[in-house]
Structure 1
Amino acid sequence: MAQFRNFKMVSYVVYGRGSFNQLDEILAPQRKAGAPMIFLIDHFFTGHALLNRIPLRGNDKIIFADVTHEPKTTYVDALARQLKEEFGTISGIIGIGGGSAMDLAKAVALMMNNPGSSADYQGWDLVKYAGVYKAGIPTLSGTGAEVSRTTVLTGPTKKLGMNSDFTPFDQIVLDPELCADVPANQRFYTGMDCYIHCIESLQGTFLNEFSKSYGEKALDICRHIFLEKDVWDAESDDKLMMASYAGGMSIAYSQVGVAHAVSYGLSYLLGTKHGIGNCIVMNHLDEYYPEGAAEFKRMVEKGGYEIPTGICNGLTDEQFNAMINVSLGMKPLWENALGKNWETIMTREKLRALYEKL
């Protein structure tokens, strides 16, 4: 008899322009006497007006998350250690920013209650205990980090998430007003992360009606925003925030595929940011997603964006092997993309040839 996945979702969702203003009220029941709320905020917001709207109470603390690079296990461990030393116990962590800030918040919340290093929990269902209360507030749409059961981390030997039922946020606040200041390039790269989620989910072998329903809706929204509209406006932010949510839900009950598996290697070795890494790879995936890759190129052309090329030029055999090892470690992604016998299709030689094209 088939074993169906019992899927853990975000407990509470609030959506709407201005919904950020309800944060104080939302957090009030979660506060424990003397234990602060920690606001982990993307360093992009240093000196920004948004800081005046953070509902600080008692000994609450703002920490600016350095997201120059994607989250590393060492950074997660250092933040958790700092909070334990300073406060002993905390009421919760609120991640405000893009995918990296939200993933950091999820990971640190888990490490407040789990022993050892976050590197010990890179994989599927390794986390032992629920973390402290955690809320996610995206200021950038596309990653789906607000709904996923993973927190993607670069560890000493691999780039892999802490995938577990303890990972999803307890609360998310989806306020499209917070996306108003995003630079156009950045918005496109994370929007394409969402688009690529949908292409990979909808063409994967794990596809089911649950994933399909969300994936098709998110894909329709992405096409509307990036191919049909000529001007980016408030409606675009509203729609992309929902596409991000639906795209994240689509992969929650299926998986991503080739673009993500290959881009994990890039970010592990070269520090390539996730959104742009996916774009660099998608530019060369005509063999695996012919229609998706062609449509992606039309979106790039319409918006006049530049996708970097030649980023693997001059790498050594050792460096190529490091990327290949990380990428081939993403077994569920390859199986979703290519089927159960994926290892006979995506050989080391074939993956090396793909990396050489980037």
Structure 2
Amino acid sequence: MAQFRNFRMVNYVIYGKGSFDQLDEILAPQRKGDAPMIFFVDEYFQDKQAFLSRIPLRGKDKIVMIDVTYEPKTSGVDKLRDDLQAEFGQVSGIIGIGGGSVMDTAKAVALMMTNPGSSADYQGWDLVKVPGVYKAGIPTIAGTGAEVSRTCVLTGPTRKLGMNSDFTTFDQIVLDPTLTASVPVNQRFYTAMDCFIHCVESLNGTYLNAFSQSYGEKAQTLCEEIFLDKAVWDEDADEKLMMASYAGGMSIAYSQVGVAHAVSYGLAYVLGTKHGIGNCIVFDKLEEYYPDGVEKFKRMVQKHGVDIPQGITKNLTEEQFETMINVSLGMKPLWENALGKDWETIMTREKLRKLYERL
């Protein structure tokens, strides 16, 4: 008898221009006595007082600026948890306001407020056994799908891997397209391409089903409308990209990503390459696996005049290559989705090494 995944989705979703300003009333029922709400905010907003003043602080609530120079590390998550427990004992909730790194950090810390040990102990699938504190996600850049995913990707002592569990999804997300209007052009492109690549990998994967296909096709269509068909960027593009991110995240919720993500995890672990640009660097070389998607990607890159770094692995040591290969090959569900159950006979260490050398 077939076994179907019974996965959890985000409990509540609010969408629309200006919906961020309803955050106070959204959070009010979730407050537990005088335990504070903690707002993790992307450091990009450090000097944006007009924006910070819109965050509804009450009582002992606190804003914690999150440095996104590097993607989240298990050590950083553990320190944030320890600091909050030392200062407050317990909190009412964690609110992540920013891009994928901030939202993943919020999800991870919310889980670690109630689960023992280190976040590194929970890197994997369904290892989290206790629900975290209340958590809400508010994307200020669109594309990662972190607002709807059941994972929070962390770099640990030995690997880059998410805390994948039904307890990881947000309890609430706020999708306000006006919050993405100030994103720098290149960063917006790299993150949007994370969404586009999600869709290509999902739609071409062996895990594909009608559920993931319906979301993936819509998200990919929206990305193509924005980056191939539109003449100029406008409010309509912000709205479409926010919904593409949501739908792209939903597409991989019941399927999986593929080669680009599996390879980029190795880059991130060894070189610290950020997720969006890392996926772009890899996808640029994946004609063998996703010919149609890569052709469209290259047209998007050319149309928008975006730079895709080249030659980033040319000076790596043998040990670094081996580490990248080990990290990448550890992403077994991704490889199986991309290449099938016999993927290990297709993507050998030698073939993966040659791919990394091309980057």
Q: Which category of TM-score, normalised to the shorter sequence, fits these structures?
A: over 0.9
CA distance in 1, matches of 2:225, 2:181: 19
Q: How far apart are residue 322 of structure 1 and its match?
A: 0.4
2:339 matches 1:338? yes
Letter in 2 for 1:149: R
2:168 matches 1:159? no
CA distance in 2, matches of 1:316, 1:167: 36
CA distance in 2, matches of 1:291, 1:235: 26
Q: Which residue in 2 is equivalent to 1:138?
A: 139
Q: Which residue in 2 is equivalent to 1:72?
A: 73
CA distance in 2, matches of 1:353, 1:85: 48
Structure 1 residues 296-335: aligned runs within 5 Å:
296-335=297-336
TM-score (norm. length: structure 2): 0.99
Letter in 2 for 1:2: A
Q: Which residue in 2 is equivalent to 1:83?
A: 84
Q: How far apart are residue 314 of structure 1 and its match?
A: 1.1
2:303 matches 1:269? no
Q: How far apart are residue 161 of structure 1 and its match?
A: 0.0
Letter in 1 for 2:260: A
Structure 1 residue ranges without an equivalent (≥5): none
Q: How far apart are residue 230 of structure 1 and its match?
A: 1.3
Letter in 2 for 1:357: R
CA distance in 2, matches of 1:294, 1:349: 26
CA distance in 2, matches of 1:32, 1:292: 48
TM-score (norm. length: structure 1): 1.00
Matched residue SS, 1:136: strand
The percentage of counterpart residues that share the same residue type is 76
Matched residue SS, 1:186: helix
Q: Which residue in 1 is equivalent to 2:126?
A: 125
Letter in 2 for 1:39: F
Matched residue SS, 1:53: coil
Q: How far apart are residue 47 of structure 1 and its match?
A: 1.6
Q: How far apart are residue 34 of structure 1 and its match?
A: 1.3
Q: Which residue in 1 is equivalent to 2:229?
A: 228
Q: How far apart are residue 277 of structure 1 and its match?
A: 0.2
Off by >3 Å, runs of 4+ in structure 1? none
Matched residue SS, 1:344: helix
CA distance in 2, matches of 1:291, 1:59: 52
Q: Which residue in 1 is equivalent to 2:14?
A: 14
CA distance in 2, matches of 1:257, 1:117: 28
Q: How far apart are residue 128 of structure 1 and its match?
A: 1.4
Aligned length: 358
CA distance in 2, matches of 1:33, 1:221: 43
Q: Which residue in 1 is equivalent to 2:38?
A: 38
Matched residue SS, 2:65: strand
Letter in 1 for 2:292: E
Letter in 2 for 1:87: F
Letter in 1 for 2:358: K
Q: Which residue in 1 is equivalent to 2:216?
A: 215
Letter in 2 for 1:314: N
Structure 1 residues 48-127: aligned runs within 5 Å:
48=48, 49-127=50-128
Q: How far apart are residue 179 of structure 1 and its match?
A: 0.3
Q: Which residue in 1 is equivalent to 2:28?
A: 28
CA distance in 1, matches of 2:245, 2:169: 15
CA RMSD of aligned residues (A): 0.4
Letter in 1 for 2:23: L
Matched residue SS, 2:267: helix
Q: Which residue in 2 is equivalent to 1:201?
A: 202
Structure 2 residue ranges without an equivalent (≥5): none
Q: How far apart are residue 153 of structure 1 and its match?
A: 0.2
